[in-house]
Amino acid sequence: MAGEAHRKRLRALLRLAGVRVAGDLTLVEQAFVHESHAKEQGGSSNERLEFLGDSVLGVITAEWLFAHFPDEPEGRLTLRKAAIVNDAQLAESARRLGFAEVVQLGTGMRNAGGANNTSILADAFEAFVAALFLRYGIERAKTFVCDEHIGRLDHDPEALIDAKTRLQHYAQEHLSATPAYREESRGTPQAPHFDSCVVIAGETLGTGSGPSKKAAQQAAAEAALRTLLAAEPRSKRRKK
């Protein structure tokens, strides 16, 4: 998509943020320029905007969670934030909003299906948030993020993100460690069964079983999350 049709789609996105008079679209257009397109055609990509947008998105999300979950401790808010700003969720919102049709890709990247790539779409979402912030102010960025992303999610943590990813975010944020999984296989090829345990900082925090390695790891991660959240004051001391 190019020319006026492209700019028309950008103006439609801006209206979702409450921007009625778009003015100069240069910065907004840059938010959708992938590095592959910039290398082929010249000019700047959206990488710097993505860097800024990541932080702006984090602040908006943290403020929203702080207001909407006043009784939840830091650990649970951290899990919720990680679920909201992860690439998979951002890419889903980007797909729904039609970002795949306006992102500018190099020929090879587009032919390889890059317009539907989760990482590319998530990066474009962050870059667009940055462009809103720089060009139209924090309130317009907040309107877009809250109305078109956060407000449309199911805020049950299990619905937002899988247990392994939630555990990884929690462990890195609070324990400065990365979970490690150990599996044992039993059963038969026709009826496989796996047992898994998850170890963090040398301590086994959860075990689980399932018909596949992935299912067993998810069950172990769920158990570890329950252990960590039940002993949250201890985990905070370990983080320090």
In this structure, the answer to whether residues 9 and 74 fall within a common structural domain is: yes
Specify whether 29 is catalytic: no
One of 29, 54, 87, 148 is an active-site residue; which one? Answer: 54
In this structure, the answer to whether residues 148 and 171 fall within a common structural domain is: no
* Arithmetic mean of pLDDT, 96-112: 91
In this structure, the answer to whether residues 145 and 174 fall within a common structural domain is: no
Model pLDDT, residue 237: 41
In this structure, the answer to whether residues 110 and 12 fall within a common structural domain is: yes
Alpha helices, DSSP H, located in 69-210: 74-85, 87-96, 99-102, 107-111, 118-136, 138-148, 157-160, 163-174
In this structure, the answer to whether residues 23 and 111 fall within a common structural domain is: yes
Pick from 156, 191, 217: which residue ends a domain? 156
In this structure, the answer to whether residues 28 and 52 fall within a common structural domain is: yes
Listed range (71-80, 86-95, 230-239) with the worst mean pLDDT = 230-239
Model pLDDT, residue 234: 43
Q: What is the CATH number of the domain that holds 61?
A: 1.10.1520.10
Distances (CA, A) of 201 to 117, 196, 214: 34, 17, 21
In this structure, the answer to whether residues 55 and 135 fall within a common structural domain is: yes
In this structure, the answer to whether residues 180 and 149 fall within a common structural domain is: no
One of 50, 123, 126, 222 is an active-site residue; which one? Answer: 126
Cβ neighbours of 14 (radius 10 Å):
23
Specify whether 126 is catalytic: yes
Banded model confidence at residue 1, pLDDT cuts 50, 70, 90: low
Pick from 136, 156, 176: which residue ends a domain? 156
How many domains is the chain built from? 2
**pLDDT tens, position by position, 14-40:** 999 999 888 989 999 999 999 999 999
Banded model confidence at residue 239, pLDDT cuts 50, 70, 90: very low
Banded model confidence at residue 232, pLDDT cuts 50, 70, 90: low
* Arithmetic mean of pLDDT, 92-103: 94
**pLDDT tens, position by position, 173-200:** 888 899 999 999 987 777 788 999 999 9
Amino acid at 223: A
Distances (CA, A) of 178 to 165, 167, 191: 11, 9, 31
In this structure, the answer to whether residues 186 and 75 fall within a common structural domain is: no
By residue range, what is the domain housing residue 191?
163-239
pTM: 0.70
Contacts 24+ apart (CB under 8 A), 178-183: 179/221, 179/224, 181/217, 181/220, 183/213, 183/216, 183/217
Pick from 141, 156, 171: which residue ends a domain? 156
In this structure, the answer to whether residues 39 and 59 fall within a common structural domain is: yes
In this structure, the answer to whether residues 122 and 180 fall within a common structural domain is: no
Q: What is the CATH number of the domain that holds 172?
A: 3.30.160.20
**pLDDT tens, position by position, 117-175:** 888 999 999 999 999 999 999 999 999 999 999 999 988 756 656 788 888 888 888 88
In this structure, the answer to whether residues 145 and 224 fall within a common structural domain is: no
pLDDT above 90 for 212: no
